[in-house]
Structure 1
Amino acid sequence: MTKILKDEDLVGSHLMAVAIDALETAFRARAGKRLISPPRHHVSFPDRGDLVFTVGGILGEKPLAGFRVYETFEGAEHSQIVAVWSADDARLKGIVLGERLGNLRTGAIGGLAIRHLSPPDARTIGILGSGAQARTQLAAAAAVRNLDRARVYSRDEKNRAAFASEMQNALGLDIEPAGSAQEAVAEADIVICATTSQTAVIHARDLKPGVHINTVGPKTRDGHELGLDIAAAAAVIATDSPEQARAYASPFFLAGSSSEHRMADLADIIAGKAAGRGSSEEITLFCSVGLAGTEVVVASAILDMMAVPS
């Protein structure tokens, strides 16, 4: 019988480590031209929205293939479907329903960037935003670095207080709400930007030397929370999918800037094909755009883990 998982099945802090390790394998496969990850495909339903498909998988000893589909229809609830096949015997491994897998995958990509680009001795983290992406990015950072203190800022005081309380209990970190974006990032070794702000809320002058910054989601020239001077100050700029960054309908926020052509593929940095952090004083920037096909890889790893008797 085909395994079907839902959001309520994807609970537990151990899943983040599983997801990050699965994506380490996927990104190394990408560097070796063994990851299948074509751009997203949109099917429009006029006056309603789109169905958006991503298809992908890994070639090699244990090949897998699958797809994710989600909708952009207006409504109070949204959902996604991820299906995974074993590509060597046509076996449908399982289906994952809901939104939690997508959040876990995005957080894990951020965690992978932190693993390979942030200072190895990073202890403090500043978070901008208090939503689902901020939560999974912080959980991923805590899975790859020995953090001991965090500060969070978002526009709603109640939201940032709730975030600090919830994530402190979940991760065992000392987390405190900050009164401003600048206060949240001032002493941080790692900065997570997970807001919907259409204007820059931090600039290079707000950051200390050696910081690593993660951004999440599409950042366009018309809306981004990072000052362009941060990209200019960064010794390394990486993304999980340069192709996807170039394919947005609205130009990526670095388009037309002096930093536009400096973006490296995170997979190449992981595989040693491109330069990563060179010193403790260098600023590094990772722009997460959601590499297609990676949901399939994470879903496969979780399905495999749950198939093993405890």
Structure 2
Amino acid sequence: MEVISAEEIKQKFSMKETMEAIENFYKEKEGDYISPDRMHMEDGDNTALLMPAFYGNYYATKLVGVAPNNTNLDKDTIHGLMILYDRKTMEPLFMCDAIAITSLRTGALGGLGMKYLAKKDAKTLGIIGTGTQGWSHLQSGLVARDIKEVHIFNRTEEKALAYKKQAEEAFPHITFYVSSVEELAKKSDIIVTTTTSSKPVLPELEPSEWKGKQIVGVGSFRPAMQELSDQVLRDADEIYVDALSALRESGDMIRAKELRKDLENTWDLEKIIRENHHPSDAPDKTIIFKSVGASIFDLVTVKSVYETYYK
């Protein structure tokens, strides 16, 4: 069976389509789905992930390797394969590069978090980390809000400048800046963290400077990883997650549970979408949306790609 390349999928299937597919899944889904917690197998700094899911007529599985140190080798952090099967017969129907599916669905999850939870008049977007997810969240941020200005931070300035050049060519109507992390945090209405850092990447600000901001945390997916600062985790007015597994898997949410006692009834993306929930007084609040992903989101994305362009 041919493996469809990441580039081909990205050229055919847009971030807007992915966001709509996930949103419509929750609005229109019929019957239950099976989406177990992903299996983590750790090998030093690297992680192998197995992510199966069942829904409707389909079974899908994603096999992924995450190698954080690849950034030092100018290689992608994530590699893998995504396979879609006929649920009844278990015959493989479609196989593709998992990077494209992961990029699309992770960006879409963050974008839906922005669509429902960020203040309506958000104009500035800050992106910490310029890898695959830094790019996908630029795309989804532009779908979710009328963004006019984007601030970029990466520990390696050369990579930030390369990202800026690529972004200016792709989105000439947007103004891009390479900024310090402090300047980015102060000037951005929406801040996206896309790193695999074990130490918080957000700066300490005056509490009032966090008000009116949404922080979308998407990089940390292991208990030892924490991108968001204790200050933000402790003082945020509202915290949401894409899936409840985030409360168990992410070091950010594990730390949040240590710092506060109000996460027992945390809303996930399904409830946010089904209730059409938008926070009241968002311009006066600090709002966190933590995303770790789940296999059902991969299935919904690859199903939409397959049915739209390859079936």
Give the TM-score band, short-chain normalised.
0.7 to 0.9
Distance in 2 between residues matched to 1:255 and 1:25, nearest whole Å: 31
From 208, 211, 214, the equivalent of 1:209 is 211
**Could you tell me how far 1:80 is from its partner in structure 2?**
1.5
Residue in 2 aligned with 1:133? 133
Residue in 1 aligned with 2:50? 53
Contact map agreement 2:66 2:79 (CA 8 A) in 1: no
**Could you tell me how far 1:200 is from its partner in structure 2?**
4.3
Aligned counterparts, 1:1-310, within 5 A: 4-12=3-11, 15-28=14-27, 34-42=32-40, 51-59=48-56, 63-71=57-65, 79-87=79-87, 92-172=92-172, 173-178=174-179, 180-197=180-197, 198-203=199-204, 205=206, 207-218=209-220, 222-247=224-249, 252-258=254-260, 261=263, 263-272=266-275, 276-279=278-281, 280-307=283-310
Distance in 2 between residues matched to 1:216 and 1:226, nearest whole Å: 10
SS of 2:137 mapped into structure 1: helix
Distance in 1 between residues matched to 2:294 and 2:227, nearest whole Å: 21
**Could you tell me how far 1:221 is from its partner in structure 2?**
6.8
**Could you tell me how far 1:231 is from its partner in structure 2?**
2.5
Contact map agreement 1:39 1:244 (CA 8 A) in 2: no
Contact map agreement 1:241 1:290 (CA 8 A) in 2: yes
SS of 1:261 mapped into structure 2: coil
User: Cα–Cα, structure 1 residues 227 and 247, in superposed 2: closer, same or farther, change >3 Å?
Assistant: closer
Distance in 2 between residues matched to 1:13 and 1:176, nearest whole Å: 29
Q: 1:219-268, CA deviations, whole angstroms, 9 ceiling, x for partnerless residues?
A: 66754232222123322211112224314699823231215625321211
Distance in 2 between residues matched to 1:300 and 1:202, nearest whole Å: 39
Distance in 2 between residues matched to 1:27 and 1:209, nearest whole Å: 30
**Could you tell me how far 1:117 is from its partner in structure 2?**
0.7
User: Cα–Cα, structure 1 residues 94 and 222, in superposed 2: closer, same or farther, change >3 Å?
Assistant: closer
SS of 2:64 mapped into structure 1: strand
User: Cα–Cα, structure 1 residues 255 and 301, in superposed 2: closer, same or farther, change >3 Å?
Assistant: same
Distance in 1 between residues matched to 2:133 and 2:146, nearest whole Å: 20
Distance in 2 between residues matched to 1:164 and 1:6, nearest whole Å: 25
Please provide the CA RMSD for this pair: 3.2
More helix by share: 2
Distance in 2 between residues matched to 1:234 and 1:142, nearest whole Å: 24
SS of 2:125 mapped into structure 1: strand
Q: Percent identity among equivalent residues?
A: 19
> What one-letter code is carried by the residue in structure 2 that aligns with 1:291?
A
Aligned length: 300
Q: 1:35-64, CA deviations, whole angstroms, 9 ceiling, x for partnerless residues?
A: 3211112468x89977531111334xxx43
**Could you tell me how far 1:213 is from its partner in structure 2?**
1.0
> What one-letter code is carried by the residue in structure 2 that aligns with 1:114?
M
Q: 1:129-161, CA deviations, whole angstroms, 9 ceiling, x for partnerless residues?
A: 122211111111112211111111122221111
TM-score by length of 2: 0.83
Distance in 1 between residues matched to 2:259 and 2:7, nearest whole Å: 43
User: Cα–Cα, structure 1 residues 305 and 195, in superposed 2: closer, same or farther, change >3 Å?
Assistant: same
**Could you tell me how far 1:307 is from its partner in structure 2?**
3.4
Structure 2 gap ranges (5+): none
User: Cα–Cα, structure 1 residues 14 and 54, in superposed 2: closer, same or farther, change >3 Å?
Assistant: closer
Structure 1 gap ranges (5+): none
**Could you tell me how far 1:20 is from its partner in structure 2?**
0.9
SS of 1:134 mapped into structure 2: helix
> What one-letter code is carried by the residue in structure 2 that aligns with 1:282?
K
